[in-house]
Structure 1
Amino acid sequence: MNTVLAGIVVFHPDPDQLLRLVARVAPQARALAIVANSPLPPELEAALRRAAGETPLDLLRPAANEGLGAAYNRLLAAAEAAGDAFLFLLDQDSLPAPGAVRALAARHGALSRAGERPAIVAAEPVGPEGRPLGAVPDPDPRWPEAPVRRVGFAFSSGSLLACAAARAVGPFRADFFIDAIDVEWGMRAAHRGYAIFVAPDIPMAHELGRGVIRLPFGLTLTDQPPRRLYTFIRNQLAMLRLPHVPRAHKAKTLLLMPPRIGIYLARNRFSREVRRAVGRGLLDGSRARLGSPERVFRPLP
């Protein structure tokens, strides 16, 4: 039986939003596991167990905020220990469509039977207006009844990860902490002969940062706070050193990083915090000095 562990990573979550997510996903999974990167009040824990209903719920409590990569590895270890075939990754700011988990598992099975090696089959992340986040190429015409498109990486939230593939690809980069973790893992999976797919007909509501920065010609950038801007710049530059990252992606990073930095600086009126995020991101990225952003910024409360 292809059992699924649904894993959610939380950090000071909105209680109502988290309860909706648990209630939505619990009926579709063998069990739920929540990595609490910040303390959860006892009353919220009790409400979460009620929302999960008959689905077992396990709360994993790291001693400190370890970031997303380490949390994903904790969840993957829990799925492996239970013998689950899949891990369904979720962030607290996502809400997959009803039936998404089962639909993605069925899509994975169809791809495997067709001779593909899917490491991840992911839901289509959509913004508040229901529009897909990012570019949307046409689905692969070989599967008109169960549409998918092959991508270089998928958003970690909403990804149905095959545990067998994860054993071959290896763990998520805990030292990235946050940002580009899914990008690096997807490229490493492709380097090892696996593929990442997105199902465009299986939507998942998802919030990005503080929204989007709208640019001419319909282009957008995620509006990020300074510490996320720091990890974004740092991790993208660190990926330039990795042999499994395609040259095209490295060239795109080098081409687009300067204008992106300029846009963030201008939008934030060259604030001291943003200038520090950019400067330290460039410096630490060039030196591959990774880990928690709390080395650079004060710890969040």
Structure 2
Amino acid sequence: MHGGALSTSPRAGAVVIFYHPDAACIERANRLAAAMPCIVIDNTPLMLEQAELGLSAAVTYVPNGANHGIATAINQGVERLIQAGFESAIVFDQDSDPPAILLQDLPQLIQAANTKDERVALAGPAYSDARLRGVAPFVRFGWGKLTRIVPDGREPIDVDFLISSGSCINLRYWREIGPMDDALFIDFVDLEWCVRAKAKGFRVLGVPWVKMTHELGGEPVRIFGRAYPMHGPLRHYYQFRNVIALIKRASMPLTWKTTELVKLPVRVVLYCFFPARRSEHLLMVWRGVCDGWRGRLGAYRPR
């Protein structure tokens, strides 16, 4: 494990997931590695050399040579940090650009919780996407809809889940909670892990004074004046498959299930009738629903 030029007082490391990174992704990873120890797990289906990519020697680079999914990549990075004796792991997508306060405050919050034996599994920032609705609220599950909490104030907020990018995992409890679910591959990986952590009595904390810019999906579509994040057909396959698969699990909260059942028909309309390549979107959504119902998980296998 390489050390960064600047070190935070808690033993915190970063895990960045690559998939066909561009020059800006490489630059962000190099900048991050100058601030804290950084592992890059590369899911690009090519075996590339660290120097060839332009990655700093301060980065610990792990090329998978295949797309093993976000869950497996996070697990790989976390295991390396645990073996190196780290206390917390901050996970990032390749397009995440964290502010300095995130790298400092989230590990310190985890460290303070551990000092007081408070069972905090995860702490994460509020995120903003200027293309959508600015700063997104934190959420808790409710019957048929999510309860949205404005990220305001100087006290952490108990929430039901956080997106993985920018979130700080408390490695003290990683073994007790268990790793990310490899079978889910990409979508709802973070949500399922948070649900599992909370079911075991751990807290998931939104940190309202820490905000990170993060883009959800590709270019949003605007419908009746409101912007919705849009993905490609394959990503919609995973979204619908994993929703159905998780709805079938007894471990998932009924409140979350009712919310998703309300959202599903709306998502079908948004994702299948508004973007280009409508028939392709619809086909992949249908395949996702069928595979989710059958419990056919892992990487998508073309028919």
Aligned position for 2:242: 235
- Listed as ranges, the gaps of 5+ residues in structure 1 are 51-55
Aligned position for 1:133: 136
**Preserved CA contact (<8 Å) 1:15 1:44:** no
> In structure 2, what is the Cα distance between the partners aligned to 1:112 and 1:275?
47
Pair 1:84-2:86 in alignment: yes
Report the CA distance between 1:240 and its aligned residue. Answer: 1.1
> In structure 2, what is the Cα distance between the partners aligned to 1:43 and 1:118?
35
Q: What TM-score, normalized to structure 2?
A: 0.85
Report the CA distance between 1:115 and its aligned residue. Answer: 6.1
> In structure 1, what is the Cα distance between the partners aligned to 2:40 and 2:239?
25
Aligned pairs for 1:138-153 within 5 A: 138=150, 146-153=154-161
Bigger mean CA deviation after superposition, 147-156 or 78-87: 147-156
Q: What TM-score, normalized to structure 1?
A: 0.86
Question: Root-mean-square deviation (CA), in Å?
Answer: 2.4
**Which of 173, 190, 203 does residue 165 from structure 1 map onto?**
173
Q: What amino acid is aligned across from residue 132 of structure 1 in structure 2? A: V
- Listed as ranges, the gaps of 5+ residues in structure 2 are 1-8, 139-147
Aligned position for 2:18: 10
Aligned pairs for 1:64-75 within 5 A: 64-75=66-77
> In structure 1, what is the Cα distance between the partners aligned to 2:119 and 2:136?
25
Q: How many residues align?
A: 284
> In structure 2, what is the Cα distance between the partners aligned to 1:150 and 1:16?
34
Q: What amino acid is aligned across from residue 96 of structure 1 in structure 2? A: P
Q: What amino acid is aligned across from residue 19 of structure 1 in structure 2? A: E
**Which of 92, 95, 98 does residue 97 from structure 2 map onto?**
95
Q: What amino acid is aligned across from residue 137 of structure 1 in structure 2? A: I
Q: Deviations over 1:123-168 (max 9, x none)?
A: 222113692235551458xxx5x43221111111101101112111
Report the CA distance between 1:196 and its aligned residue. Answer: 1.0
> In structure 1, what is the Cα distance between the partners aligned to 2:28 and 2:33?
10
More helix by share: 1
Report the CA distance between 1:91 and its aligned residue. Answer: 0.6
Runs of 4+ displaced beyond 6 Å: none
Q: What amino acid is aligned across from residue 243 of structure 1 in structure 2? A: A
**Preserved CA contact (<8 Å) 1:139 1:147:** no
Aligned pairs for 1:41-56 within 5 A: 42=49, 45=52, 47-49=54-56, 56=58
SS in 1 for 2:97: strand
Aligned position for 1:187: 195
> In structure 2, what is the Cα distance between the partners aligned to 1:114 and 1:139?
25
**Preserved CA contact (<8 Å) 2:151 2:209:** no
Aligned pairs for 1:111-130 within 5 A: 111-112=113-114, 116-128=118-130
Aligned position for 2:216: 208
**Which of 264, 271, 275 does residue 271 from structure 2 map onto?**
264
